[in-house]
Structures are given as C-alpha cells and as structure tokens.
Amino acid sequence: MTKMIWQQGELIEVTIANLSDTGDGVGRADERVVFVPDTVPGDRAIIRLVHVKPKYAHGKLQQLLETSSYRIRPSCIVADKCGGCQWQQINYDYQLVAKQNQVIQALERIGGFVQPPVDPVLAAPSALGYRNKSTYPLGISATGQVQAGYYQKGSHQLINLNQCPVQDSRLNPLLAEVKLDIQQRSWRIYNEQRHLGQIRHLGLRIGRHTGEMLLTLVVKDWNLSGIETQAQEWLKRYPQLVGVSLNRNGDRTNAIFGAETRCIAGVPHLRENFAGLEFQVRPDTFFQVYTETAEALLQIIQSELNLQGHELLVDAYCGIGTLTLPLAKKVRQATGLEVQPAAVEQAILNAHRNGIDNVTFLVGAVEKLLPQMGTIPEVVILDPPRKGCDRAVIDTLRQLKPSRIVYVSCKVATLARDLKLLCQDGQYTITRVQPADFFPQTAHVEAAAFLVLSDLHKDSNSFTKTEI
C-alpha cells in the first residue's frame, strides 16, 4: 500500500499510545510516528502537522475527539503555554508509570539489557510546590512592564508569572514583588539579541527544611546603581531572606550563571538540613531541586549498600558532598572527586561543619583523578552530569574493579550507554535500578543503578595499590 504524502499544515487524526522521553505524546498514523505536545496516552485527537519527515512528524493539538482517562485539569493557568512543565495535564500516578517505562526502554534499547530489574518509581511526597530553586529569565512586555517567567513552548516568547505551582510556595511573593522593585529602580532588562541592558535572570532559592532564602540577580556587569540599598530593603521585607547576591554573566550565551558571584547584603549562602547534616548552599551551587525525594533516594542507597564501616568509598562528581558526607559516616574512609574548585571548597566546609573527618575531597577531572588515588575502593558512587561519564572513567573502573558501583543519573539515555560498557563481558551485573521522581510535572526522571562485580573478575584487578 502506498503511503499518503503528508504536508506541513495538514490535519490528521491520531490516537496517542505512549509518551516520549521529551514529554510529547506519541501516536501512529499511516505507519508513521507523530509526536504531539500536550497530549496524553488514550487521547484521540485532530493534529496539525508542523514538521514533516519521511518516517515521522511533529504535530500540534487542534481538537480533542476523545479524552484519555489519564488526563486531568492542570494546576497552572498557563500550563498550555509555559514551557516549564510538560505533564501538568497528566494524572500523577500515570506520570510515574511513564517514567518507569522510560527507564526500562532506555536500558533495553540503548543498553541492550533483557528485562532489566527496574523498580517502580519512587514517588515524590508532593507533585506540586517542591522546587527549592527557580531561575527566571527577565523581559519587557509590550507596555514596558518588567516580566519574569519561562519561555513559551517551542518559542522564545516569555510567559509572565507571578507564582509558579511547582516551586516552593514561600518563594511566590518574591517572584511577584521583585519585578516591581526592578521596574521602580529603572534597571534595564537585558536584550540578548542586541547584547544590551543589565539584568538577565532572577534566581530564587530556599532551604526546604530551614526556610532560609537567597535572592540572586544575574547581571551583564557589576554596575547596577542602587543595588546595595535595594538589597537591604529586600532583607528587611522578607524575614527568611538571608542573602542577596549578584552573579555576573557578560557573555553571549544561553548559560544562566557566570563564573563569579558577589554577595551584596546578608550572607552568601543559606543553611539546609539534608539527611541529618547541615549544608551551606550558595546561589550557584548544584543541589537537587527536590530535597525530600533526594533524601529518600539516599536512604535506599544506604540500605542497598548495607555498609559495615570498613569500606573505602569514592564519590565521583561529588559536588558539595551531598552524597559523600552521609555515606562517609558509614565507611572507614571516603574520597570525593569534583572538577569545580568552588564546590570542593564548600564540600570541605560542610565536612568540618558536621564534624566528619574521614573524608578527603580532591579537585580535578574524575577521569584523571580516579587512576591516581593510591587505593582500590570497594564502593564507587557515580553521579555525573547529563552527558554521563567520560569513556576514560568507564575504562578505569573496569580496570580497578571495585566490588560495587552505584550510578545515579539524571538522564537515562546516558545511564544506559554507560551501564552497557560497565557490564560488557559480564564484568558487572545490575542488581537493581531505582528510579526516583525529582521533577514532577515534567518528563525528567532520576535513577540509581546498583552494580556488583562478578565472581570471575574479583581476583584480577589490572591495578595494584602500588601502581595507582
């Protein structure tokens, strides 16, 4: 049978069968795949084709003919426009099912694993009001008003927000009111096309357990007239606000933060309690956005490892020690590896603050530090950025042969790729994969994979302690 020729702008009928890893609904028509944002499995809909390829197309929802049983009314009034969330129209229980399927499919298709042991997703305590950090681009409306929000789906048009249902609700007053202060100060909003103006982003952060807040303006340069006075006014107005900072980003870039942050008033960090420890968190520090789910996943990691106190542990990509320090309390010696010097500085301070003295933090690329440590760890924690591990890290681990590896990932495609390499020739076996929902209302999913060294490889380390 000859396939019909699809044309851009054409209307077709599609039934949505599942969800892609980017959050779009996925349907089939005329033996071709159609990706459609804002749809839910079970929806039958009229779709307008917007991008057509030989084997697939991207469409836009025009009319719902039949509504999925998983479809709900979004909690946000701009959910159909704002690009911050993809799944507010999907029942939360089904979001969890979709995320588990996303992990399974990545491990099967990319990793080549047969029936991988993927547990149900660790659900978030609440599907709303969870984000401890939000960073909003700023803009100017057609009438000259300062706006803050997220970009419209598929565009660079700013959707103005006065509150956001997924961020901690205690931050909402700052989001609504700080825009008015910027307006009254006549501070110029940055224009990225012309590379003119001053203020690029508004950053808000809160300690979920302590309530302490930070306010940060990302600026093109330091010359922001009256910022010291305004910063003091903000500290007086918001009792939980402990620090106001400027971060300078003078580059033509999509990156939000620049390399340097200056505290203008108050202190340069907030205090947060995490897993029974106290951490200092700065405006530009990486810290999981859902504190409670991160703590719950850590508890599972601790339970699965069942540490006895004699182990040597390495935490690669350790950041400020969020995983390193709680685990260090249960082992003989822990070492954290991190390429960012500022993060290591904070990790060392956090160790001292909590009286943990059996941990060492090293600055440098993991692929360079790991072979030079002078010891073979029994346990290695991997928590890399979205791009996954450098191939040299995988190769070194296969030579070192630690007894156990825990790979914590925020992108299951690179997780599957790296696990395939680690498990090559049966060297490691995946005993469990625990997904966790750090990002409700979005398609993102975190996962912790637990690996054990096979018996055949336990006595054949390529390195010895004197060689490393």
Catalytic residue (one of 76, 85, 389, 410)? 410
Do the bridges between strand 404-409 and strand 379-382 make them parallel or antiparallel, or are there none, so unpaired? Answer: parallel
DSSP string, 86-117: S-TTB-HHHHHHHHHHHHHHHHHHTT--SS--
The enclosing H or E element of 247 equals strand 241-248
CA distance 363 to 378: 21
307-338 core/surface letters (b: 16 or more CB in 10 A; e: else): beeebbbbbbbbbbbbbbbbbbbebeebbbbb
CA distance 78 to 430: 42
Task: Give Cα 369 to chain centroid, integer Å.
Answer: 25
Phi, psi for 8 (deg, rounded to 5): -60, 135
Instruction: Residue 389: name the closest of 372, 373, 413 by CA.
Output: 413
Helix axes 412-422, 391-400, angle to 10 degrees: 40
Task: Give Cα 141 to chain centroid, integer Å.
Answer: 30
- Catalytic, 85? Answer no
Instruction: Residue 41: name the closest of 91, 83, 77, 6 by CA.
Output: 91
Cα dihedral 323→329→332→333 (10° resolution): 40
In this structure, how many other beta carbons lie within 10 angstroms of the beta carbon of residue 303? Answer: 9
Strand partners, 137: 201
Task: Give Cα 294 to chain centroid, integer Å.
Answer: 11
Instruction: Residue 417: name the closest of 365, 461, 370, 382 by CA.
Output: 382
Instruction: Residue 464: name the closest of 399, 403, 404, 405 by CA.
Output: 399
Rg (the chain; Cα; Å): 24
CA distance 92 to 71: 10
CA distance 108 to 102: 10
What is the set of active-site residues?
A: 410
